[in-house]
Amino acid sequence: MSATTYYDSPLGWVEIRASQEAITSVVCCKERKNDRHNDHNSEILTECVRQLDEYFNGQRTHFDIPVNQEGTAFQKNVWNALIDIPFGKTVSYGDVAKMINHPKASRAVGAANGRNKVWIIVPCHRVIGANGSLTGYSGGIDIKKWLLSHEAKIVQTSNLKLTL
């Protein structure tokens, strides 16, 4: 069984799909689809929306909801490595390649990153070019920039609170 709902994020509509066990897709979309496609009875979708709310409100820095993406073993290794990138930090494609013990596979990492269908939860927005540039993002560079800025503000605010 598959369930779908739409979430009105600060960046626009997000389509969320899930099986009974896990989130299978979280992607930006231009508009909300017809309400008949929304499954408000799905516990996993409800939990995903709750966690996204917390993320956007600055209350969540790590997601603990199950995800299941179709992909090759290499892609899954990349996606698992993305989850380990700390909130508010960035790494390069080469860094991710080293994390998965394929130090020369930065282009393949970029391709796998581009196939990530679980936006924000598997934080592909935290991967940038080796020179610090904001390269490629399926939601668009503006969204990637917003997400990184959002996380940086939360980290900065939490650091200020710790030092006061």
Same domain? 42 vs 79:
no
28 is catalytic: no
pTM: 0.88
* CB of 4 closer than 8 Å to CB of 25: no
Same domain? 133 vs 80:
yes
Q: Catalytic pick from 28, 29, 48, 124?
A: 124
Using DSSP, state whether 141 is helix, strand or coil: helix
**Cα 136 to chain center, whole Å?**
14
C-alpha span between 156 and 34 (Å, rounded): 39
Same domain? 90 vs 9:
no
* CB of 16 closer than 8 Å to CB of 45: yes
* CB of 87 closer than 8 Å to CB of 157: no
Same domain? 48 vs 94:
no
pLDDT on residue 75? 97
Angle at alpha carbon of residue 68, lines to 9 and 120, rounded to 5°: 30
The tally of domains found in the chain comes to 2
Same domain? 116 vs 77:
yes
- DSSP 8-class letter at 92: E
Q: What is the mean pLDDT of residues 108-117?
A: 94
Same domain? 50 vs 85:
no
C-alpha span between 125 and 123 (Å, rounded): 5
Same domain? 139 vs 77:
yes
Identify the H or E element spanning 7: strand 3-9
In a domain, residue 64? The reply is no
97 — pLDDT class (breaks 50, 70, 90): very high
Q: Both tokens of residue 37?
A: 């496609």
By residue range, what is the domain housing residue 44?
Answer: 3-56
Give the bridge partners for 25, in sequence order: 17
Using alpha carbons, list the distances in angstroms from residue 64 to 13, 144, 147.
Answer: 22, 21, 19
pLDDT tens profile 35-84: 545 555 789 999 999 999 999 999 999 999 999 999 999 999 999 999 99
Task: Identify residue 58 by its one-letter amino acid code.
Answer: G
